[in-house]
Structure formats: C-alpha cells, structure tokens
Structure 1
Amino acid sequence: MSRVSVPAPVISAWAAVSPFGIGVGDFAAGLRSGRPVLSAPGDVDGVPPGQSVGMVPDFVQRDVLGRRGTRGMDRLTGLAVVAAGHLVGAGDLPPGERVAVVLGTTTGSQQSMSDITRDTLIHEKPFYIETAHIPNAIMNSSAGQCAMRYGLRGPNATVAAGRTSTLSALMYARRLLAADRARTVLCGAAEEFSSARAWWEWRAGSLTNGAPPLGEGCVLLRLDAGSGGAVADGASGDPAAPVRAELARLVAVEFATHDGRSPAQAVELCVRRALDRAGILGEDVWAIAAGTSTQGPDTTEWEVLDKLFAGHQPYRVDCLAAVGDTGAACAGFQLAAVLAEATWTSGVQGRHAVITALDSDGSAGCAVVQLC
C-alpha cells in the first residue's frame, strides 16, 4: 500500500480534570509542587481496606456543570464533559459539524453498569430501575454527552483499549484529520473512581503486590490539522483553518500486540517503529514517559525506555505516582505532564517526547510528539 505524506496534527490545547483539581492550571501547579493528592486509607467509603485513592476533589457533576442535563449524569461522563467544556470554552472552534470527539475508556462506567444490574435484582420487578441511568451503562455515552452538550456534530467515537486507550484515540483522531472527516478533534481518555471499580480491581488481584492506588480523571487534547511535519495516510488538512498556537506535533503513533509472555518486546517494537516513523534518533528525545509509574510494581515500559535511550539520559516524566493509576487515561496524564513541564523548561523547542502504554490484555503503543 502506498503511503501519502500529510501534515502532522497539531496539539493546540489540552484540558485536564485530575486529583490536583479542575483545569490545566491546577494540574500544572500540582505537578510542579510535588504535593501529594492521594487520600489516606479509610478516608473514602466503599473501597477495599487499606486502599488510598486519587479522586478529583469536591467533584459533583451538578455543582460543576449546573442542573441542566446532569440529573442522570454519572461521574465518568461528568469528568469528560467538564474537560471538553474547557476546550470548547477557549473558543476558535470550527463549525460544529467539523469538530469530532474521540474518547478512550476501559469499559465505560463500571459503577453505572453495576448499579443497573443490582437494581434489576433487588427490586420487585427487574424493570423497576431509574431509566435516566440506563444511558450511562452504554460505553459510548460519555463521548455522546460531550458532543450533545456543546453542539459538536462531527464524527463521535469511543475507543476501548484499556491502558492504551489514549494512544488509540490519538491514532483515531489523526486518521479523521488525514481523511478530512474533521478539522478539529477533541481526543483523550477518561476514567472514574468508583466503589465498583475498586472492588473489581481488588478481586482481580490488581491492587496487591505494591500496585499504585487507583486514581481518576480525564485528559483531552485538541488536535488540529497541521501544516508541517509528516504522518502516514490520508489527505491534507483544511487550508482555510485558522492559525492557532502550536504546543506540539503528533509525529508518530505505533502499536503492537503481545501474548502476555513478551510485553517488553512489544513495547520496544513500538518505540523503534515510532522513532523510525518520526525520523529521529535517541539524542533528539528530550523526555520519556510510560503509562505506569516509575515506582512500579510493573516497570516493564521504563526498563525498555531506559535500555533504548541508554547514554542519552532523557528527562523522565512521571505524574502517576502523584495522581494514581488512572487506567485508560494513564498515557493521557503522562502526555499532559510532558506538555506542562515543557512550558517551564528551556531549550526543549523542536525536541521530542516519547510516551508509551502497555495493557496486560495484549496491546502496546507508543506516541512521539515534537514540542513547538
């Protein structure tokens, strides 16, 4: 298949709803301060014993978004809608039919699915449930709510790829732009903290052996069709699109699969492919960030990155030690941390950052961005 060179998408804005607070400012300030945001064990009801969690402070959908449209809104959707609102509120969006939404998730809202299932069992009849809660149990509900609330009528997609969801959303968004299906894409991933998620992870054994506490939040990036740099596939962006500030360019996204016995090889393959696609060497990389914390217990990604960039000593970005395990949004938070730290670090313009993600179900991914 022939490859068509098109401009690399531009990351022109981003939004974060995190345990540091709501907004880019809170996230960047918290990241720079290094202050802890994880709750002490026992401070949150409905979680397994001895578990700390990273929750968005004082987050109640109705209080943050108002009464309109929030009566049946679950926490996951609220996190995504608030993040999308920060990007939409910044203005300068093209017409609604040219704005797409691509949201990554693990399974949607585990709490909503669990609540509805429970209601069908405990009530007098199985259909005696709160009908307003039914849409929340559908995995693509959050992305749809973002679009409907802000009048975004372009393509709307939900990507369920576990810990590689953010990178999968970036790939999906890049293809939409390359095919001229949209001029702007709001893409990223969201994960809620809930009692259902905590106990499911606990029963699965994911919260033992030094695993990081569960966290929650949403990171959304605004991707616009670019005017420089090359990516594979598709056609050029809209030349009539307004010129925006450029934070970074998405120059490569690569994926691989593994059978559970060779995750390191899959990560290494992704990184090598991404560097080759971006046309850069190890010395061109300023920062590396994995989809897991440097504090473990699974340090596979960091071991691979340290091996590949041995001798170059790129800056290691890790915000997950502070915000917790944010599941589908892990790589999104790491990318957000890269963008935040680039704003107060001199000499990084034109250099690159490598972000990886690895899911135990068999997928690995890597994105390379060039800072502007």
Structure 2
Amino acid sequence: MRDLFSEFDPIEPSDEEFDLNYQPEPAAVQRRHEPLKGRGTGSNIAGRFAINLIEVDDNDEPMVAPQTQVRHEYAKSIISRNQSPDVPFSMSVNPYRGCEHGCLYCFARPSHAYLDLSPGLDFETKLSAKINAPELLEQELSHPRYQCQPIAIGINTDAYQPIEKELRITRQLLEVALKFKQPVSIITKSSLILRDLDLLTELAEQGLFHAAVSITTLNNDLKRRLEPRTASGATRLQVVQKLTEAGIPTAVLAAPMIPFVNDNELESIIQGAAAAGAHGVNYMMLRLPYELGELFEDWLRTHLPDRADRVLNQIREMRGGELNNAQFGLRMTGQGAYADLMRQRFYLAARKAGLDTLRQVPLNTQLFTLPPKPGDQFSLFD
C-alpha cells in the first residue's frame, strides 16, 4: 500500500475533461528562480520523470505571475488506502491535485511530477479538481465489501483551498458522509471550513467528525513568503475557536517546524492553541522528499540567504546526513540532538498548556448505514 505522507496518490488512467483555459505545457520548463508576488516559488523545476527541458535565458523579460488554471478530472476511484505506522488513519479522499495556497514546504509538491507537471510553480497554478468525487465516494461506501473506518479528507492537498469556494466538492463529500453516517476528519489551514459549520456540527454531534488546523507561523511576514495564499496564523486560531465553540473537537498541528526559520515559535503556537480552546496539539518537522529539496534550498537562498547553509546543515543532521529520510518512525520528527530537543520542547509546552498530544480523536464507526434508495420498501417492523 502507498503511504500518503511519503509518497502520493497514484495517478490512475482516467477520462478527463479540461476547461477552456487549461493549456498544459508540452515539456517541463525550467524558469528563473525569482520571487513572484502571491506565489510560493518562481521556479518551475522539472519533475523527476521529465524528458525535455526548455531553458529560459536570464536576459529575458521578468516573469509575470501566472493565473491559476483548473482542470476538471473524472477519477475512477476516490478512496486511497495506506498502512503507514506514522499516520493515524488508513483511508483518505483527496478532492484536488495541486494547491493554490502555494506553501513552499508542501510535501505533496512532488506528486505533480506524475502529471508531467513541475512540482514548483505548476503545483500551485495548474490544479485538478475531481468533480465526480462525491458520486464516487457514494458508490464506494455502498459497495458490499466496504468496511467502515474513519476517512481523512484532503490529506495530500488542502480540501479547503481557494477553488473549493466555487466548486464545493469538499462540501458535497461531507454531505455524502452525513448521509451514510461515515466518520471523517479534515486538516486545513483555511477559514473556508467555517462555511460548512452546519454539516460539521451535525457530524460532530454524532461523533463522526473532528478537525485539525495546521499553523506554521504567527509571523505575517514569514507567512507571506512561506505560504502566500493561506490565512494568517491569527485567523487560523480564530477558526479553532469558532470550531470548538460549535462543539467540534479541533486540534492544532504545529507544522512544519523548520530549523532556525520558525522553530522558535513552537511554544507560542501551542499557547495560542490552548487559548483558542483546542482539544489537542501535535507537531511535525520539515520533510523534503524528491524535488522539494531543491525548491526549499532555492527559497532559502532567495529569502533567508544569511542563514541558508545553517538551516540546510541542521536539516541534514536531523535526517542522517541527507535532506530527507523517509524511514518510518523518523520521518515526522527526525533524529539526533536537535530533533530530541524539539521533541522535549513540544511535550513540555503541551503539558504546560494542558493540551492532549493524541494524534486523533476516536470517531464513531457504529452508526454507518446505507441510506435507502428510491423504490426501496421499508419494513413494517422498523
């Protein structure tokens, strides 16, 4: 089985419908590494499967930030399964590929290489929307061999990224979950989740839902450069407060912690989570699979050149001499003296804040039911 945190959803052959504005490039394009307003990276490095490259002359005109393009995709299946010991779920649903939030550190960026697109700028500007996801989920939940387990929605990329406001695929997935009494969870960094408070509250009342809000930094200047199209840290804490006030169990994920970039904020994020009413907290260290290592190094040398080497050296010390180590049990927290210190800081801060460090709230799988279909006859004895 594929591990959703170290690998990515397999790209199955599917019938696809493209909108008129979507124009895929015939080859991976290597563009100059320069900041683009509102984007996490100005680099369109080639994916690891690319064959042809178009090199851009440094004397060309400055790059103009591209507009977001959305492809409509008809997927053949929607529930992904994994057996990773590092994640607290075995099934997930991802309504979108790519993410307009533009988080430079996103571990899902290399998944765009499977689409013959760049994990760089393409990842945040050329998106795929699985518009038949709600219908597929209903079909898969109705299968006679389906056994109910909690499903995590939007693990590879954020289910509440900006295009969800118009497409509403995530909301439709929640409607299906409510109809089947299927337990679900969501990790997001978007305030758009509050739009669906009606559904989330009803699910939570039956023990069928919990949320986690990811907070990387409370520093707006760093947020603007590191994750440009996301809500501010203060706004995310307000989301936590509103969710918990609605009776929805909500945790905060301080992630990713990056050496000498935002690691000094760990305690502040945990304190903010407690003040907002979060029921629990966890953290993860930065991971740099595949092309993400090159993208992150370029970002460092562009935005934090004075400490780039120090950051990279500390990451290598934490990852066994490499920029990434995919070994189970170490991927999320790292190894060595620095990783041990971060672990101690986390548990001490969580204890002082009175927050649970469990990774997931148990959800109710006993209520799962197949809703009646049109024409079904009801028992006289029900």
- Give the TM-score taking structure 2 as reference length: 0.29
Structure ID, larger Rg: 2
Q: Which has the higher helix share?
A: 1
